[in-house]
Structure 1
Amino acid sequence: MRISHLAAVLAATAANASAIQQVMKARPDATLAAARPKETGVGHFSEWSRENKRQFLIDWQNERSSEWILVMGNEGGDLDSMTSALTWAYHLQHSTQNDTHPVKAIALLQTPTDALDLRPENKLALDNSKMSSGHSDLLTLDELPEDPDTLAEAIKGIVLVDHPIPLRKWRKAPILSIFDHHKDSGAGQDAKPRVFEKVASCTSLVARQMLDELEKLPEEYHMPHELLELILSAIAIDSGGLESATKEDRKIAQRVLTRSNWRESDLSDKMEALAKKLKDAKKDLDHLGLRDLLRRDWKGDLVDTPSPRTPTVSLGFSSIPYSMDEQIKNKTEFGELFDWFAIEAAWTAQVGADISVALNKYKTRDDKGKKQKIREIVLCVRTDVRINANQADSLFETVSEAIEADEFLKVKRWHRAGELGTRQMVWTHEQEEAGRKVIRPIVEAAVEAWDMEVPT
């Protein structure tokens, strides 16, 4: 009866999918309402962040969005991305506060409010920084009072941190600055500063620029210790307590530590302790169901294709630290294969994705008891958003061939691949470093080269 009931619900959902998607795919979880915090944050950083958010919304209401700069990281919303955005927004405002025309800047977290706690390490770091409960000090995607496509044309511009290019919905906004520790994708050639540098944490780049400019001011503005400690937390978790840090990460971390309330601590000891606490928090995911695991680190955007009939498709990636077998057994209601794909389909319908890729990773032991790190790639292609069934078949085949042909990955089909449905596939591989940064370019290149014209 329960399975029949689920089938009926899924059928009803499919029948109304187009109407639901029109409302939800651009603004997932937009039905959630903001509420007053149960506990208001203490300290200058929390007070500034809350008042800054209030002023932004007041100016939007009075049609003064053009006075504002939005500082934004990637849509995965990890601690590095969030801290980089908050740090640079704080610096832009405070470094110009004595100017004739001070800058108005606010950090935008490109995740819904209720998704922030899906990263327990973020919650811990924010709690340590004495921010308000419920993340009410922060401006999140679902709190934007206007659609990004139209707001992008109204605002003064955007600053990108921990991300090399803006999402499609922000591409009408001028790119004023970029800070990133990934590959330069060529966006924002006129941006100043425009910093691309290989370091463990993007926060290191933002903090360096902030301190360099701060120390050149006639009079330094107040730097709250809560923000300095948030910066150290982001660098710590991204560098494994400085274990994988570059010389630049270490140098910046020491400069920040010297200004913080932890100035008497040894840098290595403090960063190791921070990293351990944050890493332990990051692993605390056992209470999350599959839908939350799919969306906690979701990153996606529109990808251009050569096809005049289908010029763009929506592609999204999730990262999950559990095996497919464990997710099915412990993260779905019925503990069965069909349920994993039903939940995945409900999520991608909500965000309007044509192609989704779940990247799973887990540890196991071989026959000799030696630990092995295994990764899985789960590919699904939908037909109800932009492409019909024939096109979806062709696109699925194109992406599948690209993944299976990659000589570095050397993927193998999952042990239950024969049970999968149409346009579904799962592969395993043992390339420990082949996470999203490796897989995403392979999939994107295949989509960008895909060109099949099938009459609708």
Structure 2
Amino acid sequence: MKSTLLSWSLMAPATLSFAAVASEFTNPTYRHGAHSPSQYVVEDAAAHGILPLEVGVGHFSEWSRDTKKRFFIDWQDSKENEWVFVMGNEGGDLDSMASALTWAYHLEHSTMNSSKPLKAIALLQTSMDALDLRPENKVALSNSKMTSGHEDLLTMDELPEDPETLSRKLKGIILVDHATPLRKWEHAKILSIFDHHVDKGAAPSAKPRVFEKVASCTTLVARQMLDELEDLPSEYHMPHELLELILSAIAIDSSGLDSAVPADSKTAARVLARSRWADRSLSSAMSSLARELKDAKKDLDGLSVRDLLRRDWKGDLVDTPSPRTPTVSLGFASIPYSLDAQIRKTGFGELFHWFSIHAAWTAATGVDIDICLNKYKTRDEETGKKKKIREIVLTVRDDVRIDERQADSLFRLVYEALEADEGLKLKRWARAGELGPRQMVWTHESGAGRKVIRPIVEEAVRQWDM
């Protein structure tokens, strides 16, 4: 038997989310039915001087909160091997979140009356306080009647055990909107994969294993869910809040179906027919959702530089042939502001302060190489029309796995790999002369984002031997 979660929560009272959940099932009074879980969440919030939570309403929120509670109970009783984690990528976007929640819900409900019922929970691979850095997530979850503060969602910072340890104990993991697991989950058995990007060959025996070019991964998950649901002897209850979350994810990724492929449109139509909006036309419902969510997505002016750095950040370890340093940690941030605009957001409004904030963030993440991919629009002086500009900010640290000589070598390697790519057509940033050691900024108009830049950097690092 593990030590009680309550004792852990008392050691870290600032972690309200975990303490609140722990209080629900460690309190003997609640176990005898005298109080509801929501009462304890609200009371704990008040005790810490925090505004009371608005507890979610409806079957979907109740299921999500109950699932989270059951997982913590089973972890405490050393029953992790009974659980399946459904996880998206660490960027924490609406597509990953909706895909994970949808498939976890389906797994549990489609097997509950079978001889082999499954325990499944969606894991959002970001911290709880980072979810609202994507305002569209907050809007979509609010529309789906979820608990404020995301108390009924399981996030990375709430895991009671390190992923590398926990991955060995789980029944398995399912990847959604993600082709391969992060290194920290490599010891877990991959049961299924749903992704709308490139198949990288992971878990060839996984079932279902779906790779298809669609606007939204949620399309693939929802289609599989509906196909299996309609084949059941008796359909389980499908809450309208979940259906509307699915439609939200497809809508924002397909620009209201304007950039959809047939699979997106057909699946959205099937979901819409089961939702509260069944009397609306598909185009009307999806365009309305897309407008609401895209308006929210653009509302980032209040975010700090650190928030922008971690809002859409993805990273992992890359193997190298170096016996001294067999792995290097890479991080990639996507930011919809120019570097100049970000500098203006710093307290001093100076270049040095941006790099100071950046250094503190990368030190916290433990990366060796960090790439910031900025994008913004500017007006062309000749034509007067707006054009899209992108920036690449490269930094290499020497205080985690590598020393100064190795950092210099890695910087040169990645620097040369990026400059050598003819498709990027990089130009040195106007203020490049002010940069410090192992710092470089380029601008380009190629349209290449993370999906193009990341493979270039990773391939260079795989050749590094020092």
Partner of 1:60: 75
Residue of 328, 346, 354 corresponding to 2:368 = 354
Q: 1:451 Cα shift?
A: 1.5
SS in 2 for 1:306: coil
In the aligned structure 1, how far is the partner of 2:13 from the partner of 2:161? 12
Residue 215 in structure 1 maps to residue 234 in structure 2 = no
* Superposed CA RMSD: 1.1
Partner of 1:295: 310
In the aligned structure 2, how far is the partner of 1:304 from the partner of 1:107? 28
Query: Could you say if the C-alpha distance between residues 30 and 404 of structure 1 is closer, same or farther in structure 2, counting changes exceeding 3 Å?
Result: farther
Residue of 398, 401, 406 corresponding to 2:421 = 406
SS in 1 for 2:441: strand
Residue 374 in structure 1 maps to residue 414 in structure 2 = no
In the aligned structure 2, how far is the partner of 1:31 from the partner of 1:422? 38
Paired-residue identity, %: 73
Residue 314 in structure 1 maps to residue 329 in structure 2 = yes
Query: Could you say if the C-alpha distance between residues 30 and 187 of structure 1 is closer, same or farther in structure 2, counting changes exceeding 3 Å?
Result: farther
Partner of 1:82: 97
Is the Cα–Cα contact under 8 Å of residues 228 and 257 in structure 1 kept in the other structure? yes
In the aligned structure 1, how far is the partner of 2:377 from the partner of 2:183? 36
Q: Which amino acid in the other structure matches residue 355 of structure 1?
A: I
Q: 1:32 Cα shift?
A: 3.8
TM, length-normalised to structure 2: 0.90
Q: 1:362 Cα shift?
A: 0.2
Could you list the runs of 4 or more consecutive aligned residues of structure 1 that deviate by over 4 angstroms after TM superposition?
none
In the aligned structure 1, how far is the partner of 2:184 from the partner of 2:339? 32
Partner of 1:7: none
Partner of 1:20: none
Is the Cα–Cα contact under 8 Å of residues 411 and 429 in structure 1 kept in the other structure? yes
Partner of 1:242: 257
Q: Which amino acid in the other structure matches residue 301 of structure 1?
A: D
Q: 1:100 Cα shift?
A: 2.3
Q: Which amino acid in the other structure matches residue 133 of structure 2?
A: L
Residue of 115, 122, 131 corresponding to 1:107 = 122
In the aligned structure 1, how far is the partner of 2:14 from the partner of 2:310? 16
In the aligned structure 2, how far is the partner of 1:104 from the partner of 1:31? 29
Partner of 2:60: 45
Residue of 426, 431, 435 corresponding to 2:446 = 431
**Which deviates more from structure 2 when the two are superposed, residues 136-145 or residues 31-40?**
31-40
Partner of 1:232: 247
In the aligned structure 1, how far is the partner of 2:85 from the partner of 2:385? 48
Residue of 140, 143, 149 corresponding to 2:155 = 140
Q: 1:400 Cα shift?
A: 0.5
SS in 2 for 1:127: helix
Q: Please list every run of 5 or more consecutive structure 1 residues that lacks an aligned counterpart in the other structure.
A: 1-28
Q: 1:366 Cα shift?
A: 1.1
TM, length-normalised to structure 1: 0.91
Is the Cα–Cα contact under 8 Å of residues 30 and 142 in structure 1 kept in the other structure? no
In the aligned structure 1, how far is the partner of 2:397 from the partner of 2:412? 13
Residue of 186, 196, 203 corresponding to 1:188 = 203
Q: 1:269 Cα shift?
A: 1.2
Partner of 1:176: 191
Q: Please list every run of 5 or more consecutive structure 2 residues that lacks an aligned counterpart in the other structure.
A: 1-11, 21-40, 43-52
Residue 338 in structure 1 maps to residue 347 in structure 2 = no
SS in 2 for 1:400: helix
Query: Could you say if the C-alpha distance between residues 276 and 258 of structure 1 is closer, same or farther in structure 2, counting changes exceeding 3 Å?
Result: same
Residue of 270, 273, 283 corresponding to 1:255 = 270
SS in 2 for 1:203: helix
In the aligned structure 2, how far is the partner of 1:297 from the partner of 1:428? 20
In the aligned structure 2, how far is the partner of 1:301 from the partner of 1:132? 31
Q: Which has the higher contact order (CA 8 A, sep 6+)?
A: 1
SS in 1 for 2:173: strand
Structure 1, residues 234-293: CA drift from partner, whole Å, max 9, x if none? Answer: 000000110110000000000000000000111011111100110000011000000000
In the aligned structure 2, how far is the partner of 1:415 from the partner of 1:135? 42
In the aligned structure 2, how far is the partner of 1:33 from the partner of 1:165? 32
In the aligned structure 1, how far is the partner of 2:350 from the partner of 2:334? 21
In the aligned structure 2, how far is the partner of 1:92 from the partner of 1:102? 8
Q: 1:99 Cα shift?
A: 1.1
Structure 1, residues 167-216: CA drift from partner, whole Å, max 9, x if none? Answer: 00000000000000000011011100000000000000000000000000
Query: Could you say if the C-alpha distance between residues 88 and 348 of structure 1 is closer, same or farther in structure 2, counting changes exceeding 3 Å?
Result: same
Q: Which amino acid in the other structure matches residue 213 of structure 2?
A: K
Is the Cα–Cα contact under 8 Å of residues 348 and 356 in structure 1 kept in the other structure? yes
Alignment length, in residue pairs? Answer: 422
In the aligned structure 2, how far is the partner of 1:268 from the partner of 1:160? 30
Residue of 266, 271, 277 corresponding to 2:286 = 271
In the aligned structure 1, how far is the partner of 2:235 from the partner of 2:13? 40
In the aligned structure 2, how far is the partner of 1:122 from the partner of 1:237? 11
Q: 1:367 Cα shift?
A: 1.2
